[in-house]
Amino acid sequence: MTDRKRALLDSTVRIIAHKGVRGLRVEEVAKDAGVSVALIYHHFGDRSTLLQSALLHVGQRAHEYTRPISAGDARAALLATVLGEIQDDAEIRDNSAAWGELRDAAIFDESLRPTLDALTGEWVDDLADIVRRGQADGSMAADLKRAEIGQRLTALVEGLSSRWLAGLISTAEAHALLEGAVARELLSG
């Protein structure tokens, strides 16, 4: 992706995070990024394509800030990857808020669904793959259902993120709840 295209998508994500999908005006993205509206249409075609590109960008950004800490043993990697989604960082907060807005927009905007479905599936698979790694090295029980663990932990991150973004729970509280969830998911049987 070109730097300019990335800057346009960063602006789009920031505006969605603060004003929602329905509040997104292409004119405001252009103003925020310091370019013409025509250039945005040149890069992204229509508004619907811009939203899909923004959703992909949100997924890519989340991948970048969770992936670097997913090294080490499988259990620590699983926990670090999950905790990485909720951090006291303005870009991560905006990314999380934009994800929530775009995800909920997909309830009525069918054009967003294939992208949302693919990104959610990749996220679930990322966690399932860490469990597979733990099962391979014997540090996690062989009877753990990887896909279910991935679905539940990612859905829990989404539910807790909304509460965290609205200020109902702190970052520390969200992390403690996620640590408890990871511990329970890794129990055999």
> Where does this chain bind a second copy (CB under 8 A)?
18-20, 22-23, 97, 100-101, 103-104, 106-108, 113, 116-117, 120, 145, 148, 151-152, 154-160, 162-163, 165-169, 176-177, 180-181, 184-185, 187
**Cβ 38 to a second copy shortest distance, Å:** 26
Kindly tell me which of 1 and 176 has the beta carbon lying closer to a second copy: 176
**Cβ 78 to a second copy shortest distance, Å:** 15
The backbone torsions φ and ψ at residue 140, rounded to the nearest 5 degrees and listed phi first, read -125, 150
Kindly tell me which of 50 and 181 has the beta carbon lying closer to a second copy: 181
Kindly tell me which of 11 and 96 has the beta carbon lying closer to a second copy: 96
CA dihedral 158, 171, 146, 57 (to 10 degrees): 50
Kindly tell me which of 35 and 167 has the beta carbon lying closer to a second copy: 167
Under 8 Å CB-to-CB from 159, ≥6 apart: which residues?
A: none
Task: Report the distance separating Cα 14 and Cα 32, nearest Å.
Answer: 9
**Cβ 163 to a second copy shortest distance, Å:** 6
Distances in whole angstroms, Cα of residue 66 to Cα of each of 44, 63, 87, 105: 27, 5, 10, 24
Task: Report the distance separating Cα 117 and Cα 113, nearest Å.
Answer: 6
Could you please report the per-residue DSSP string of 47-62? Answer: HHHHHHHHHHHHHHHH
**Cβ 98 to a second copy shortest distance, Å:** 11
Kindly tell me which of 142 and 187 has the beta carbon lying closer to a second copy: 187
